[in-house]
Amino acid sequence: MRKKFSLVHFFIVVCIFLLVVKNPCFVYAEGTKEKAVVFLLDVSGSMKSNDPNRYAIDSIAQFIYTLPSNFEIGFVAYNAEVCAEQILLKNAHRNEIMKVAETVQYTGYSNAGAGMMQAVEMLLDTSATEKAIVLLSDGECLMQDEDATKISYTAYQSATVQAKQNGIRIHVVGLGEEMEDIENSIFQAATKTGGGVYHSPHALDIQHSIDAILQEQFRIKQMTAAVIDAGEDAVKMEIDIPFAHASTVRVLLTSSSPIRDLTTNLNAEGVRQVNGERYSLIEIDNPKKDKMEFSFSGVSGNQIRMILIPEYWVTPKASVSYQDCVPDVPDALTYEREATITYTFHDMENNNIQLWTEDYFAHSKLSVEKAGNFEEGTLADGQLQTHETVTEHSESEVSFGFAEFPANILGSDTVKIVLEEPPALPIEEPDQFPYTIYVVLFLTIVLVIAAIIVFRLMKNKQPTVIPDDDGRPEPGKSSYVGRLNIYITRTASGYDISPLSYDLFRLPSTRVISMAEILESCGLKETFAGAGRIFISSGQGRSVILTNQSDCCIMKSGEILMKKKSYQLFAGAKVDIMFEDEISELTFQYRELKPSEMY
């Protein structure tokens, strides 16, 4: 018999190899945990009385088709020996498991030891990070004589120990009235490996146990879309699918009687349908509408349950904005900086698609973990915001938990955050002269400056006229010594743009540069109306001069900067600009650099 099964194994492996070559498997994204589970089924003769309608087979379908795409699934059935098995398969081949499961017959003794050893051995051959076995049985090990029963029970215990040593959790569903006693030896596998214990007094209760395992142990998110009383006449209905841009939505129909003539009408990138005796699965790739039409018939007196299992492949993104203010501490050297971090979540295949902006996901809960600290967040318009006080430059990874989220999330759950140190406060030079001398010197300088101004006015009767072309002012005579930190808070396209910086100190003192040239040098493709008529030139005292020749709304410290006027900006000055399209906005801050920072 062992030789026969080896040939069967070889045939299955060859078939799967050919399928994989023809249909390459999905390659999981970095950070996605691959998981593996084996469904272990007792098909001994006693199951004929405890499950005469073979509801266990439908429960297997419900179980394997509900699991997300990152699960490998296998199947083992046993009576006096292992009588059927299917090696671990990827998502695209789950129907192969049901083909094997539907062939089993309830007959013979119950060799749970051989079945458990085979299931554990199957999981030892996979590199999955999480492994589990779900056992459905209606009794203990029972063979033809006492010695054989003891051998089976010893093998069962040995396999349980091996499972525990390798991090395999075993969940046990006991079927029938006799399995009400949780001290039954068959439940030891669950208690020793940290798995769940479930009791189904009747075969119809198996579905409830499977539901509990999926939600409590595997934390699978599913929602019941409808429970329909079946009849001989065709049932036509429409259900909501509130999962825009989902990678996959599985619609699983289960019943205690056959489901006939199932047809669907929907709009999606791809649809696959698998039909069994008492179940049907519709797997929808990227549904395009939030409605789906069904038509089917059944057997009068039975109910058909329809559940939705949504699945998203996700890439998180983050953007940072800052709010700086002068601290109350007298000896402070830098501004107080508060960072607002905005997280958004995007489709892994198309990063331009932002997910979960619909009302269905409003107020959905996520957990945010950074450096071991956890914080619960709530989605609003598809965004999650956190706030953090910044004292120094830092780079860190933030990870998200989706335990309370109403969908199954695959893909990446981490994003890198870079926080810039707060800018330095302007340095005040100490008094170097006695008060009287300082005042006299100050008045002298004022008189000299006044005399120079009067002299120039006398010499040039006509005031300096700003050129008519684009209003570009005369260049300054001092050197640039600083940098602009630029934060684009809003764009016409709606895209988020990371903080930018532009080194003014690299410019010659004679260069007058427009804001449009600065943004273009930073690699931006966006158009900012009016940016070409806002100019920066070098100023005295390590300052810069801002000249506004545009119709943009420009503010500094609550003061509106008028058109056709120039303003002197010193270190730490912060300017807000709303461009002429009345949509695009940015904030820049002029930062003075030390000689050691100009490289």
Question: According to the per-residue pLDDT averaged within each range, which of 123-137, 267-281, 443-457, 468-482 is highest?
Answer: 123-137
Tokens 């009067």 locate to: 454
430 vs 486, higher pLDDT = 486
With CA atoms as reference, report the closest residue to 217 among 37, 23, 10: 37
Residues of the chain with CATH 2.60.40: 315-419
Average pLDDT over residues 54-78: 93
**% residues pLDDT > 70 (the chain):** 91
- List beta partners, residue 315: 346
Record: fold of 31-220: Rossmann fold (3.40.50)
The contacts of residue 565 (CB under 8 Å, 6+ apart) are: 547, 548
The contacts of residue 6 (CB under 8 Å, 6+ apart) are: none
Q: What is the pLDDT of residue 431?
A: 54
User: Predicted confidence band at 557 (pLDDT cuts at 50, 70, 90)?
Assistant: confident
Half-sphere exposure of 579 toward its Cβ, with a 13 Å CA cutoff? 22
For 121-150, the DSSP string reads: HHHHT---SEEEEEEEESS--B-SSHHHHH
Half-sphere exposure of 150 toward its Cβ, with a 13 Å CA cutoff? 3
Average pLDDT over residues 136-155: 94
Question: Domain spanning 315-419 has what CATH number?
Answer: 2.60.40
Eight-class DSSP state of 413:
-
Q: What is the pLDDT of residue 237?
A: 87
Q: What is the pLDDT of residue 25?
A: 36
E strands, 207-290, are 223-229, 235-240, 248-255, 260-265, 268-275, 279-287
Q: What is the pLDDT of residue 20?
A: 37
Average pLDDT, the chain: 87
Residues 263-273: tens digit of each pLDDT: 888 888 889 88
Residues of the chain with CATH 2.60.200.20: 466-597
* Cα first-last separation, the chain: 78
Burial 90-121 (b: 16+ CB within 10 A, else e): bbbbbbbbbebbeebebebbbbbbbbbbbbbe
Residues of the chain with CATH 3.40.50.410: 31-220
Q: What is the pLDDT of residue 434?
A: 62
464 vs 577, higher pLDDT = 577
Q: What is the pLDDT of residue 301?
A: 76
Eight-class DSSP state of 234:
P
Residues 325-362: tens digit of each pLDDT: 999 888 888 999 999 999 999 999 999 999 999 888 99
pLDDT at 460 exceeding the cut of 70: no
Q: CATH number of 466-597: 2.160.10.10, 1.10.10.60, 2.60.200.20, 3.40.50.970?
A: 2.60.200.20
Q: What is the pLDDT of residue 32?
A: 61
Q: What is the pLDDT of residue 433?
A: 53
